[in-house]
Amino acid sequence: MTTKSNLKRSVPCVAVFGSVVHNVMVAEIKMMKHAWENYKRHAWGSNELKPLSKQHHSSSLFGTIRGATIVDALDTLYIMGMHDEFKEAKEWVEKNLDFNVHAEVSVFEVNIRFVGGLLSAYYLSGEEVFRTKAVELGEKLLPAFNTPTGIPWALLNMKSGIGRNWPWASGGSSILAEFGTLHLEFMHLSQLSGNPVFAEKMMNIRKVLNRLDKPQGLYPNYLNPNSGQWGQHHVSVGGLGDSFYEYLLKAWLMSDKTDEEARKMYYDAVQAIETHLIRKSNGGLKYIAEWKGGLLEHKMGHLTCFAGGMFALGADGAPEESSSHHMELAAEIAQTCHESYVRSATKLGPEAFRFDGGVEAIATRQNEKYYILRPEVIETHMYMWRLTHDPKYRQWGWEAVQALEKTCRVASGYSGIRDVYSNQPIHDDVQQSFFLAETLKYLYLMFSDDDLLPLEHWIFNSEAHPLPIIRKDSQAIDNKID
Ligand code: DMJ
């Protein structure tokens, strides 16, 4: 098992980086403590905290499954050395985490947060309860794949096993970023359970995708699970598309670079994205637009900003000596996303920013000005720091810490805000579980020694939960499938 040997404790290592770095890491641990303790005080056992109302926040994404913040936070608590908190979280999981629920859940959200969180907690700590719970939950998700094509439903009633798609999705389609963001966790479920069914479901999704014609080589966001045909030809590297591309690259890396099919799909997709979606503004900012049936909408989402980190992580394996090109692209996207932060009053970035109507990297619509504690910009800065060691990325990370402290920290936790351009922003009263799983973890990893969860050994799922690379010489999942 790939576990503690590759996980170096961070705090003793930071001495070599000097006291400034050490102080930042201490500040980040304090942020985690503030988020965790207030969740514990006011919302323990529920999914999320409402830090101003001091109540629990419930989201329909998880049906009646409880404890999203606990499961999402487990690995961050572990790597920050918050052992007492990790222990209490583990005890809650043992006694209370229950998947015998009647309500409908989002298969994607439950997978990235709960399955991913449990798998990471298992690989980091070696505690059996996390493995057992992850496999149990994975089994409960399997009925979602009972469609004519095997492309899973977005929503599943975990009791009845009946699935359906979001009513707003084009032509009853499943969503690319949802069914395309199961692969990493499901490969590990097969690895840990010895049951090939999880991996088989993933390879079938691949097969369906590879049979389809792609408009201009692009993957539309919508795919009908009954007919196996694309819905609307909308393409995005942000919401509805994003982590599908991320998981192609990471499937290849997590397979110890043996999954050549994933590698090809990733680099082909990036090439098409570069040709059809990536543009440069008059002011010289590279951005990734949205593609709607051949027409470009010159807007980039906060979610899309993860792509800088993805391009950087994929640079090494890029074909035909295009490695430095991928790295340049990564740096340009990181710069653009940083600009979306710099150009706001709060120094936090909006949900979406535009490159039209005379603006660059600025949100123009009121309903795109909010910030909900998302990680993607910080995620990219973390990868850029780890892969280039250019100090500007740590500087940008530190600026984000200061902005979060100034604007999002409230007496009882951290809250999103409704308008990043307002000097007196209104809080949205939600402490998202991904703030503890992702935002704080990526900030911490940006200042830690590189051998805390080294990128050569660990692959982060879409919710920042680290999963070990499945080594060529370990019991191969492929063999089990045969
Ligand atoms: C997270 O839940 C995951 O990163 C997901 O893939 C999309 N974004 C949110 C946080 O912004």
pLDDT tens for 238-282 read 999 999 999 999 999 999 999 999 999 999 999 999 999 999 999
Q: Which ranges of 51-115 does DSSP label H, i.e. alpha helix?
A: 68-79, 83-96, 107-109
Predicted local distance difference test score (pLDDT) of residue 322: 94
User: Over the chain, what is the mean pLDDT?
Assistant: 94
481 CA distance to ligand 1 middle (Å): 30
Predicted local distance difference test score (pLDDT) of residue 474: 74
Closest residue (by CA) to atom 3 of ligand 1? 463
6: confidence class by pLDDT, cuts 50, 70, 90: low
Predicted local distance difference test score (pLDDT) of residue 16: 43
Q: How far apart are the first and last CA of the chain?
A: 22
Whether the CB of 461 sits within 6 Å of ligand 1: no
Predicted local distance difference test score (pLDDT) of residue 473: 80
Predicted local distance difference test score (pLDDT) of residue 242: 98
Question: Which value, to the nearest 10 degrees, does the dihedral of the CA atoms of residues 459, 463, 464, 466 take?
Answer: -50
The three-state secondary structure class of 81 is coil
443 CA distance to ligand 1 middle (Å): 16
Tell me the CATH number of domain 3-468, given options 1.10.260.40, 3.40.640.10, 1.50.10.10, 3.40.50.10860: 1.50.10.10
Q: What is the sign, positive or negative, of the torsion defined by CA atoms of 60, 61, 66, 69?
A: negative
> What pTM value is reported for the model?
0.95
Q: What is the DSSP letter of 80?
A: T
Strand partners for 174: 223
Predicted local distance difference test score (pLDDT) of residue 475: 55
Q: What is the pLDDT of residues 172-199, one digit of tens each?
A: 999 999 999 999 999 999 999 999 999 9
Q: Of ligand 1's atoms, which has the minimum distance to the CA of residue 374?
A: 11
Predicted local distance difference test score (pLDDT) of residue 9: 43
Whether the CB of 374 sits within 6 Å of ligand 1: yes
Are 468 and 454 in contact by the 8 Å Cβ rule? The answer is no
Whether the CB of 243 sits within 6 Å of ligand 1: yes
Q: Which ranges of 219-370 does DSSP label H, i.e. alpha helix?
A: 242-254, 260-276, 306-315, 323-342
Nearest to 416 by CA among 430, 400, 405: 430
Q: What is the pLDDT of residues 81-115, one digit of tens each?
A: 999 999 999 999 999 999 999 899 999 999 999 99
| Domain coordinates in residue numbering, the chain | 3-468
Q: What is the pLDDT of residues 110-148, one digit of tens each?
A: 999 999 999 999 999 999 999 999 999 999 999 999 999
User: Higher-confidence residue: 481 or 139?
Assistant: 139
Least confidently predicted of 13-17, 203-207, 364-368, 429-433:
13-17
Closest residue (by CA) to atom 11 of ligand 1? 374
Q: What is the sign, positive or negative, of the torsion defined by CA atoms of 71, 163, 240, 327?
A: positive
Catalytic residues: 351
